[in-house]
Amino acid sequence: MAGMDWFLAILGGYLAIGAVFAVAFVTRGAERIDANARGAGWGFRLMAVPGSAALWPWLAMKWARPRRVVTLTPRDTLAHRRVHLLAWCVIPLLVVAIVAWGWLGGVDPTGVGAVSP
């Protein structure tokens, strides 16, 4: 319980700072790092709030040192596709393992107790 309380408190603090940051970022910062956000409407700004609150440390860095976005010729997606393929060879094995664990009783990995059927 105590561990979980701590974790939630830290997460809550992080997001609280993020919420304050997000207000400043969507009103002023977004257009500093991306010209396409200049003059954007309230719908867009509101929509950017959750992401800004979640990713605030990274955005703060970008805002402090805005760099021109360089557009490159888009790179091939071959590598990504291979990762997808590999992932879907592993996922079914994981699913079967987890389901078997649940079916056989969902034994607590800490060994404290087992689930009664």
Partner 1 sequence: MSATYRAVNWNAHKKKYDLIALACVALFVAVYVGVGSLVFRGNGAISAPVLAIRALGVCAVVMLHVVLMIGPMARLTHLAAPLLYNRRHLGVMTFVVALAHAALATLYYGSFGGANPLTVVLTMSGSGASPGAFPFVVPGAVALMVLFLMAATSHDFWLANLGAWWWKWIHMGVYGAYVCIVGHLALGVMQSEKSVVYLVMILVGAGLLSGLHIAAGVRAWKRDARTDDAVQGWIDAGALDAIPMGCAISVRARGHAPVAVYRHEGGVSAIHGVCAHQGGPLAEGRVVGGCVTCPWHGYQYKPEDGCAPAPYDDKLATHEVKVVDGRVMVRIEGDSR
Positions touching partner 1 (CB under 8 A) are: 1, 4-5, 8, 30, 33-34, 36-41, 43-44, 46-48, 50-51, 54-55, 62, 69, 71, 73-78, 80-85, 87-89, 91-92, 94-96, 98-99, 101-103, 106-110, 112-117
Is-contact 35 67, C-beta < 8 A? Answer: no
* Minimal distance, residue 41 CB to partner 1, in Å: 7
CB closer to partner 1 out of 64 and 116: 116
Q: What are phi and psi of 106, to 5 degrees?
A: 55, 45
Instruction: Give the angle 7-10-15 at the CA atoms, nearest 5°.
Output: 125
Residue 38, amino acid? R
* Minimal distance, residue 117 CB to partner 1, in Å: 6
* Minimal distance, residue 38 CB to partner 1, in Å: 7
CB closer to partner 1 out of 64 and 89: 89
List the helix and strand counts (H, then E) for the chain: 5, 0
Q: Distance between CA 96 and CA 85 in Å, rounded?
A: 18
* Minimal distance, residue 4 CB to partner 1, in Å: 5
